Amino acid sequence: MTGISRPVWSRIHQRRPLRSWSVFLAPLSALYGRGISFRLYAYGRGLFKQKSLPGFVVSIGNLTTGGTGKTPAVVMLAEWASRKGFRVGILSRGYGGQYRTKVLEVSDGIRIKAYPEECGDEPYLMAKRLSGIPVVISKKRYLAGLFAHKEFGCDFFILDDGFQHLGLNRDLDLVLIDGSRPFGNGHVLPWGPLREPIDQLCRADAFILTRVKRPGEADKTVEFLKGRFSSTPIFFGDHLPEEIVFPYLEESHNPGILKGKRVVAFAGIARPENFRETLIALGTDTVFFKAFRDHYRFKQGEIDELRHMKERTGAEYILTTEKDWARISRIAAQCHDMGYVRIKFGFLSEGEDFFKMISSAFSDYVPFK
């Protein structure tokens, strides 16, 4: 049983055959494409200036609108860099946040100082997950980086969703690509999911194919990338369920607890069907699933409806994503049977080579002066 509240864009962006709405979207995509081309030309010719931060800068981004799982990848890289002794700072734009200041300190690495409504979902989630690592947001990531350097001594900056942020120099550009559905219908926004034309992947220093469950699953994508960008290394990873968390019970469990359990579930992320597939893979009997648009702001009545659906279907739990929980934690009204699935990013193979690449790039880094 599935609730239909899902945005149409995720379907439009995957369809190649012409539809009636293509007549309206194609001209808008052409205009968007021209704007992107001018912007790229301006930066390439030096008409728009790039700025440099006092530290090593790694960007983790993508070419499409959402769905590649950047946040768990940022968390993974930040934890590794911190263990290696780097002074790490996360810089984000804070998409969806309602902050009005030029720079907002989401976390100093110890305390969280902003709510999701103010800073956006992803920065809040990263601040919760990362101990000892500050998270700072600004529409101009350069200002966020200067703040992190001055206040916390950061010299290893990770740009969350930074591939299109050309105003800031970076030492490494890592691009995440969905291994099975890499570029949708191949069109730029709004007709397709592409933020930039595919040929701009030439700027990437490495590709990380995500949501790859097993070797060979992304062969067509690999063949395409090797044909067009033969010198760019490719790594393979997946987003793996790490634990099931019930916040109001202050409990966390191995994902195996869900096997055979009847659950009601919902998600407001770029590709909610990915969450449903995760639950099915964990062996749940998902008796009801409702999809919401990405970054959806839930209302109390909608949470109450989900609780009533749990009672009607005899489900044992209500489950959502960790990102969605950040947005509903204050309206969940002590829902002891509501929890979220915590996801971690892991490499299928060649993880050591990936981190060697980062270390090598850092050793070649020329300090800012």
Asked whether 160 and 92 are in contact (CB, 8 A), the reply is yes
Long-range contacts from 184-188, C-beta under 8 angstroms, 24+ separation: 184/13, 184/14, 184/64, 185/12, 185/13, 185/14, 185/15, 185/16, 186/16, 187/13, 187/25, 187/26, 187/29, 188/29, 188/32, 188/33, 188/36
Residues 111 and 78 both lie in one domain: yes
Question: For residue 311, what are its two tokens?
Answer: 């009672």
How far apart, in whole angstroms, are the C-alpha atoms of residue 285 and residue 51? 51
Q: What is the pLDDT of residue 277?
A: 93
Residues 95 and 210 both lie in one domain: yes
Work out how many domains the chain is built from and give that number. 2
Q: What is the pLDDT of residue 14?
A: 64
In this structure, are strands 262-267 and 251-253 parallel, antiparallel, or unpaired?
Answer: unpaired
Residues 150 and 124 both lie in one domain: yes
Asked whether 114 and 106 are in contact (CB, 8 A), the reply is yes
Residues 251 and 224 both lie in one domain: no
CATH of the domain at 331: 3.40.50
Structural domain for 277, as ranges: 240-343
Q: What is the pLDDT of residue 6?
A: 43
Q: From first to last of the 369 residues of the chain, give the pLDDT tens digit.
A: 544 444 455 666 665 555 666 778 888 999 999 999 999 999 999 999 999 999 999 999 999 987 788 999 999 999 999 999 999 999 999 998 999 999 999 999 999 999 999 999 999 999 999 999 999 999 999 999 999 999 999 999 999 999 999 999 999 999 999 998 899 889 999 989 999 999 999 999 999 999 887 767 789 999 999 999 999 999 999 999 999 999 999 999 999 999 999 999 999 998 899 999 999 999 999 999 999 998 899 999 999 999 999 999 999 999 999 999 988 988 886 788 999 999 999 998 888 999 999 999 998 876 654
Residues 127 and 212 both lie in one domain: yes
Tell me how far CA of residue 88 lies from CA of 41, 175, 293, 356, 368, in angstroms.
32, 20, 32, 17, 16
Residues 275 and 208 both lie in one domain: no
Residues 201 and 84 both lie in one domain: yes
Q: What is the pLDDT of residue 3?
A: 47
How far apart, in whole angstroms, are the C-alpha atoms of residue 121 and residue 170? 24
How far apart, in whole angstroms, are the C-alpha atoms of residue 319 and residue 359? 38
Residue 352: CB atoms within 10 A of its CB come to 9
Q: Which of 69, 138, 72 is nearest to 100 (CA)?
A: 138
Residues 339 and 214 both lie in one domain: no
CATH of the domain at 107: 3.40.50.300
Residues 189 and 337 both lie in one domain: no
Let me know if residue 177 belongs to a domain. Answer: yes
The alpha-helical segments, DSSP class H, found in the chain are 9-12, 22-44, 70-83, 116-119, 121-129, 141-152, 219-228, 272-281, 300-313, 322-328, 351-363
Let me know if residue 291 belongs to a domain. Answer: yes
